[in-house]
Amino acid sequence: MNWTCEQTELRLSDHLDGLLTATEQHEFDAHVNTCARCTPLVSSVTHALASLHTLPQIEPSPRLVYNILDKTLGPRETVTGWAAVLAWFRGMNPQRIAYGGVSFCAMFLMIASFTSFNWKKPRVADLSPVNVYRGADRQAHLVYARSTKFVSDLRVVYEIQSRLQREDQLPSGQETTTPQNSPEKNPGRTDGSGPTSPKQQNRANDLVSHAVVLAAGCPALWELWEGRIR
C-alpha cells in the first residue's frame, strides 16, 4: 500500500499520539522520509506540539477564590472586636505559639537570673537599665571569681594526686613526707625532690594545707591522706 500525502496529513495526530499500528507507522515513516512536502509538515507540527507542552500552568491570583466564594455563597461577614481577635488566634498555629512562648519565657528567666532580679521581692526599680547593668556586672564578676577559684582548686587537687602517685612509685625505704634537699640545688625542680628555697617550702606547705582542707571535705580522700601520714 502506497501512503499518500493526504493520508499523512489525516493520520498525523495518530502518529503523534502513538496510535498507528506497526505497519501503518512503517508506511508513514517511509512516506515522510521521501516526501518533500510531508517532511517539513511533520517537523513543524511536532515542534508546535512540543512548544505547546512547554506552556506553564498559570497561577490564578489568590483573591480569585474569595471572589468565587463571594459570588456563590454571598459576601463574607465582617468580624469586629473580640471575635476578630479570636478568629485571628484561631488561624494561627498553636504549636508554634506555644514553642515561641516557652522560648521567650526561658530567655526572660535566664536574663532575669543573670541580672540578679529578686523574684521574692520584685521591684520596678530592678528593671531599670542602670540596675540591670549593675546586676549583670556583679554577676559577671562573681562568675569569673568562682570559675577562677574552681580552676585553682582543681589545680591543687591535681598536684596532690600527682605527688601521692609519685610517692607510691618510690621505694618503701624512701617513703617520707619530709621535703628532701635537691642534690643540684636547682629551683623549680620537677623531679620529685623537695623544695630547696623558702619560697618552694612555703608553696609545699600551702599545698599540704589545701590538701588537708580538701581531704576533710571528702571522706575517701581523708582516709587516703591518713594512710599516707601513717
Partner 1 sequence: MRQHNRRVFNICYRFTGNRTEAEDLTQDVFLRIYKTLASYRAAHGGFATWMTSVTRNLLIDHYRRTKRDRATDSLDDAMTVVENKESTARRPDEQALLGELSGQVQSALTKLSPELREAVILRDLQQLEYAEIQRVLAVPEGTVKSRINRGRIELARILQQMGVRPS
Point out which residues bind partner 1 (CB under 8 A).
9-10, 12-14, 16, 41, 43-49, 51-61, 64-65, 67-69, 71-72
Other beta carbons within 10 Å of 31:
18
Minimum CB separation of residue 20 from partner 1 in Å reads 13
Cell representation of residue 85: 481577635
Q: What residues have CB less than 8 Å from 110, skipping those under 6 apart?
A: none
Minimum CB separation of residue 5 from partner 1 in Å reads 12
CB nearer to partner 1: give 25 or 193.
25
Minimum CB separation of residue 3 from partner 1 in Å reads 16
Q: Taking the mean position of all CA atoms in its chain, how far away is CA 1?
A: 74
Q: Which helix (H) or strand (E) holds 44?
A: helix 38-53
Minimum CB separation of residue 123 from partner 1 in Å reads 55
CB nearer to partner 1: give 9 or 126.
9
Other beta carbons within 10 Å of 194:
15
Q: What is the largest CA-CA distance in the chain?
A: 122
CB nearer to partner 1: give 69 or 218.
69
CB nearer to partner 1: give 13 or 103.
13
**Cα 39 to Cα 229: distance, rounded to the nearest angstrom:** 110
CB nearer to partner 1: give 65 or 143.
65
Angle in degrees, CA 198, 202, 204, rounded to 5:
115
Minimum CB separation of residue 62 from partner 1 in Å reads 11
